[in-house]
Amino acid sequence: LPILDVKGVGKTYELNGLKIEALRDANLTVKKGEFVCLIGASGCGKSTLLRIVAGFEVPSSGEALMWDKPVTGPAPDRGMVFQDYGLFPWLTVRQNIGFGPASRGLPKKVVKETADRFVNMVGLNRFADAWPHQLSGGMKQRVAIARVLANDADMVLMDEPFGALDAMTRERLQDELLDIWQRTQLTVLFVTHSIEEAIFLADRVVVMEPGPGRIASEYRIELPRP
């Protein structure tokens, strides 16, 4: 059973009475533990597809299934990591990571244990009590991913998280992301328009056609992992 099954998804936006077809008949399955990169020209519907999977957007046709259940809205099983990481500046690293469990009303002790487990998992033990502004970009990314994982996410969704960065920082963060992915065996659906980035990161690259976003082809990257 795939973790994610996107079946014949279409999306048409209305803008000032104008209809804009962003997606047509998009089909995509993702297996648990896969790192899938979705690439395609700007405007071909990558973000739209990711937002539908996240539950931020409702498809006009077709459906997205998580573990065989239709996606009807945002839920902790699919965590989005935003480009600016969206950490809460008034919370420490441990509190940011424990935010989901805490807001679910779990006992304090359980929240702390859960937070500490994920703090360790992403290698931030020494920074558990640090504040977001004290962290490097790579460390913020680790916190953002740990926060998603501590909230019981099965899958992490990332929309061009490194798009705005200089090449050196981008390479460092790509390394960090692969390191976390290897430690945690999480499932990642990653949108990018960079072929280099997709080939570096992904197990599988899914290419979307320009135009109304039909998924044209898939390539499996066979390079051995370091």
Q: Which residues bind ligand ADP (CB under 6 A)?
A: 13, 15, 20, 22, 40, 42-48, 134, 136-139, 172
Contact by Cβ (8 Å): 12, 19 = yes
Nearer to ligand ADP, 103 or 120 (CB): 120
Q: Which is nearer to ligand ADP, 13 or 82 (CB)?
A: 13
Half-sphere exposure of 39 (CA within 13 A, CB side): 20
The neighbouring-strand residues paired with 81 are: 158
Least distance (Å) from ligand ADP to the CB of residue 159? 7
CB of 175 to ligand ADP, least distance (A): 8
Least distance to ligand ADP, CB of residue 104, Å: 29
Q: How far is the CB of 1 from ligand ADP (least distance, A)?
A: 27
| Residue 173 three-state SS | helix
The CA distance from 192 to 118, in Å, is 26
Q: Which residues pair with 220 in a beta bridge?
A: 204
Q: Cα(35)–Cα(155) distance, rounded to whole angstroms?
A: 10
Beta carbons of 3 and 32 less than 8 angstroms apart: yes
What's the length of the chain?
226
Nearer to ligand ADP, 43 or 62 (CB): 43
Backbone angles phi, psi at 116, to 5 degrees: -65, -35
Q: 2 vs 43, which CB is nearer to ligand ADP?
A: 43
Residue nearest to ligand ADP (CB): 138
Nearest approach in angstroms of CB 10 to ligand ADP is: 12
Smaller CB separation from ligand ADP, 152 or 209: 209
* Cα–Cα distance, 175 to 103 (Å, whole number): 31
